[in-house]
Amino acid sequence: MTETESNTYDVVVIGAGPVGENIADRTRAAGLTTAVVESELLGGECSYWACMPSKALLRPVIAQADARRLPGLAEAARGPLDTPAVLARRDEYTSHWQDDGQADWLAGTGADLYRGHGRLAGPRTVTVTGPDGTLTTLTARHAVAVATGTRAQLPDLPGLADVRPWTSREATSAKAAPGRLIVVGGGVVATEMATAWQALGSRVTLLVRGKGLLNRMEPFAGELVAEALTEAGADIRTGTSVESVRRENGTVVAVTSAGDRIEADEILFATGRAPRTDDLGLESVGLEPGSWLDTDDSLRVTGTDWLYAVGDVNHRALLTHQGKYQARIAGAAIAARAAGDTLLEEPWGAHAATADHHAVPQVVFTDPEAAAVGLSLAEAEQAGHRVRAVDVEFSSVAGAGLYGDGYRGRARMVVDLEDEILRGVTFVGPGVGELIHSATIAITGRVPVGRLWHAVPSYPTLSEVWLRLLEAYRDN
């Protein structure tokens, strides 16, 4: 086809997940013409098969667990969840896997949407193969931003495809609870989905290759979550991997490294993510197809002056909020470079995604919740910081008692002994997800421990855990 002027834009964004949408929003706000290419649904993995449906499944599970800890309410919350109603609400949350609302929003920004598969075809050039096979060529005056995200990574097990295993997509969009569900993995997706489906009616067996759950967090996070999952009825087997899997008359049969034969109705592999860069034309610009894309702090791909990689695809922090943060930074950096302005990078400039290095918050929506920001004790020590960890139990916090009799939880802060600032904070317990931003601010602002005494938490809230942490640091 012949290229027309209307196919030339200041910026071309490939992928309209939360990250691609936010880049386009920022570049349009800066007055740059912007094309957005999307091969599936605007809103990406997060809106339809990840954050939104998983949290919609988990919210009633956690609310019920909270209710069961409260005398006076526990009796009323004793029955099983109404699974069809929970799934119906999940469907509402995913807009029934329709993206009209997001398409309207994107149109409102003034960006042009191209539906189809985007591929690089040399510097500043993107070809789009539309649903009907038509080919459109887009040229970028200033920048191409890749925001194509990730897909589930499956292990290399013979015959796995014939088993039709669940990935995170099926686990978040299933129309009914399987009677028996094997979950393979011990990370965030595995523990959240095990929590959800166990409460929604499945008998869950969790097969974890490592020693415990959530091994990127402080060890007590995985321990407390495993304890609660076991009490909820899940069968957790650590130090166990799947050796072989097949379907016999519709039933999944998995044989583990321990020699156990486990039967189930479905098997979910939550065994990591792979970048969606294998069919992206990376070879046309001298990059390796299928690789994660390395960037500098302005999110520009190493060795180029026009290509950006933003969100999951750069492997800096596979979280929606962090990807959207990067999108704001990348959008601002693209606009500044287009205008010939100097970038603002240090120390907290608008054009450098510095938080990715030292203050990435994450909440795991299990019961109890696990929330962490910054470095764990082991990570801080490994990075060469001279640190001390301070631990307290939430049982010493008056506000925790209000949550009910059985509140179990723990907090840790990792203090850098050189500057007396925080390197990392972890909270585990019901409701702690809402606490973590206080720690993010303390770390990002490099607030000295002495100054934290003057940030007075309200009585009687869970936030008083800060006082207990400061006291424990002072007294030990």
Ligand X SMILES: Cc1cc2nc3c(=O)[nH]c(=O)nc-3n(C[C@H](O)[C@H](O)[C@H](O)COP(=O)(O)OP(=O)(O)OC[C@H]3O[C@@H](n4cnc5c(N)ncnc54)[C@H](O)[C@@H]3O)c2cc1C
Binding mask 254-283 for ligand X (x = CB under 6 A): ----------------------x---x---
- Nearer CB in complex with ligand X: 168/295: 168
What backbone torsions phi and psi does residue 186 show, to the nearest 5 degrees?
-135, 10
Q: State the nearest-atom distance from the C-beta of 165 to ligand X, in Å.
A: 15
Q: State the nearest-atom distance from the C-beta of 34 to ligand X, in Å.
A: 15
Q: Which of residues 161-200 bind ligand X (CB under 6 A)?
A: 168, 172, 189
**Distances in whole angstroms, Cα of residue 65 to Cα of each of 80, 187, 201, 241:** 11, 21, 15, 30
Bridge partners (DSSP) of residue 175 are none
Binding mask 226-255 for ligand X (x = CB under 6 A): ------------------------------
What backbone torsions phi and psi does residue 14 show, to the nearest 5 degrees?
-105, 115
The count of chain residues that interact with ligand X, using the rule CB under 6 A, is: 37
Q: Which of 143, 319, 373, 470 binds ligand X (CB under 6 A)?
A: 319
- Asked if 50 is part of the footprint of ligand X (rule: CB under 6 A), the reply reads yes
Q: Which of 38, 356, 367, 369 binds ligand X (CB under 6 A)?
A: 38
Of the candidate spans 43-51, 81-89, 130-138, 158-166, the one that interacts with ligand X by CB under 6 A turns out to be 43-51
Q: Which of residues 106-145 bind ligand X (CB under 6 A)?
A: 117-118
- Asked if 464 is part of the footprint of ligand X (rule: CB under 6 A), the reply reads no
- Nearer CB in complex with ligand X: 193/470: 193
Q: Which of residues 65-104 bind ligand X (CB under 6 A)?
A: none
Question: Is 251 buried (19+), middle (13-18) or exposed (0-12) by CB count in 10 A?
Answer: exposed
Of the candidate spans 318-326, 353-361, 394-402, 406-414, the one that interacts with ligand X by CB under 6 A turns out to be 318-326
- Asked if 16 is part of the footprint of ligand X (rule: CB under 6 A), the reply reads yes
- Nearer CB in complex with ligand X: 313/415: 313
Of the candidate spans 249-257, 307-315, 335-343, 374-382, the one that interacts with ligand X by CB under 6 A turns out to be 307-315
Q: State the nearest-atom distance from the C-beta of 326 to ligand X, in Å.
A: 9
Q: Which of 62, 147, 329, 353 binds ligand X (CB under 6 A)?
A: 147
- Asked if 312 is part of the footprint of ligand X (rule: CB under 6 A), the reply reads yes
Q: State the nearest-atom distance from the C-beta of 38 to ligand X, in Å.
A: 5
- Asked if 399 is part of the footprint of ligand X (rule: CB under 6 A), the reply reads no
Q: State the nearest-atom distance from the C-beta of 92 to ligand X, in Å.
A: 17
- Asked if 46 is part of the footprint of ligand X (rule: CB under 6 A), the reply reads yes
Q: Which of 7, 26, 44, 299 binds ligand X (CB under 6 A)?
A: 44
**Distances in whole angstroms, Cα of residue 115 to Cα of each of 112, 129, 386:** 10, 8, 52
- Asked if 311 is part of the footprint of ligand X (rule: CB under 6 A), the reply reads yes
- Asked if 19 is part of the footprint of ligand X (rule: CB under 6 A), the reply reads yes
- Nearer CB in complex with ligand X: 407/427: 427
Residues that bind ligand X (CB under 6 A): 14-20, 37-40, 44-46, 50-51, 54-55, 117-118, 147-150, 168, 172, 189, 276, 280, 311-313, 318-321, 323
